[in-house]
Amino acid sequence: MEKFLRYGMVGGDIKAFIGGVHRRAIAMDPRAKLVAGAFSIVPELHVQTADAYHIDADRRYDDYKTMAEKESQRPDGIDWVSICTPNFLHYQIAKEFLEHGINVVCEKPLCFTEEEAKELVELAAKKNLVFAMTYTYTGYTMVKLAREMIAKGKIGKIVSMNVEYVQDWLVGSLDPANQKATTLSVWRSDPKYSGISNCIGDIGTHAENLLHYLTGLNIKRIVATTDKYGMALDLNSNMILEYENGVRAGFWCSQVACGHFNGLVARIFGDKGALEWSQEYPDDLLYTPVGEPTETMKRGSSYTKVYEAGNLSRLPVGHPEGLTTAFANIYRNVITTILKKKNGEKLTPADLDFQNAENGLDGVHFIHKAIESAEKGTWVKY
């Protein structure tokens, strides 16, 4: 009976943002320990990171291929790898670890083409491996609560939806002078590194994923516009999404919306009520039963305990949990799932409540369909 897991990381050196988030989120759970890594292609950063995390000398790998091979051969090899590299490397690294029989946790987007995505989905299935995607926002307790409320009919039949994910950090790119000068902007707009889309790929996919996670609804048809403002790739996009059952959703993502930082907001309207959740205030969930006042539901409060999701908190009501905890909630389920699989225990739907490679494939499909609609200037079937 295994109680602990070992994990490795590719990318995520100590200067990178998202690698640290993964490590701190996993560290909230005493059941897993970082033991191996290929943290950076810059040798000093790789060494500094390995030092900071006490990685043994023989598990500091110069490249991910060696890491996958060596770890797969050790009796105490890693149980999973967390991939925190730039997006264009996800596919090849994920594939390598899967082929060596190692579970994968991958940042989104999964990869750039649907062919690659399908290959990874099939490879994970064939190898019977866990392939988790860190769609961060599905980890928040109040998102899970909203999902459960919808499933239990608290807002009735869905009739309309609205989602936006808006930021302002690329507003500087609107100035033609910066379009050449800014390394960041150039990188963001280089198809080699960002695929066919910048904004939709980076944040729009989170918004689409969130609506699907909350409601289970699938898109049938889409119309989109993209705004490049002189850059090679999109910085802003408006869409109308038509789901099965004819439900329509307004959709907007932007990286040039002054005053917005990480503004992911989902609103779901049914014939019996409505729900609204905003990422920047993640412990609150606004619920309006039809004909009643809007209620501000608070994570951790007694009245949320009637829901399964209401019992997932680590902190009491009024003590903000934040994004690292949302990440930790994803990893909690991934760790439980991998542990149970190792121990031959039965998995429950609650254990498997994390986004996987199929959701990653959905994201890639979404990007391609949105870009297709914008380029053709028409509705496109999904």
- Cα separation values, 155 from 8, 115, 140, 163, 339, Å: 42, 38, 20, 17, 36
Site for a copy of itself in 250-269 (CB under 8 A): 250-252, 254, 256-263, 267, 269
Question: Measured from the CB of residue 109, what is the shortest distance to a copy of itself in angstroms?
Answer: 19
Considering only residues 67, 231, 249, 312, which one is a binding residue for a copy of itself as defined by CB under 8 A?
249
Considering only residues 36, 94, 217, 239, which one is a binding residue for a copy of itself as defined by CB under 8 A?
239
CA dihedral 364, 368, 369, 375 (to 10 degrees): 160
How far apart are the C-alpha atoms of 21 and 14, rounded to whole Å? Answer: 10
Residue 40 touches a copy of itself, criterion: CB under 8 A: no
Report the first-to-last Cα separation within the chain, whole angstroms.
45
Question: Measured from the CB of residue 302, what is the shortest distance to a copy of itself in angstroms?
Answer: 6
Residue 242 touches a copy of itself, criterion: CB under 8 A: yes
> Of 37-45, 74-82, 323-331, 341-349, which segment contacts a copy of itself by CB under 8 A?
323-331
Residue 244 touches a copy of itself, criterion: CB under 8 A: no
Site for a copy of itself in 140-199 (CB under 8 A): 155, 157, 159-160, 162, 164, 167-168, 171, 174-175
141-151 and 322-343 helices, crossing angle to 10°: 70
Q: Which one, of 157, 50, 160, 32, lies nearest residue 105 by Cα?
A: 32
Count other C-beta atoms under 10 Å from residue 229's C-beta. Answer: 15
How far apart are the C-alpha atoms of 331 and 107, rounded to whole Å? Answer: 12
Residue 211 touches a copy of itself, criterion: CB under 8 A: no
Residue 303 touches a copy of itself, criterion: CB under 8 A: yes
Q: Which is nearer to a copy of itself, 142 or 334 (CB)?
A: 142
Q: Which is nearer to a copy of itself, 131 or 300 (CB)?
A: 300
205-215 and 357-376 helices, crossing angle to 10°: 120
Residue 15 touches a copy of itself, criterion: CB under 8 A: no
Question: Measured from the CB of residue 262, what is the shortest distance to a copy of itself in angstroms?
Answer: 3
Question: Measured from the CB of residue 136, what is the shortest distance to a copy of itself in angstroms?
Answer: 9
One-letter amino acid for residue 338 of the chain:
I
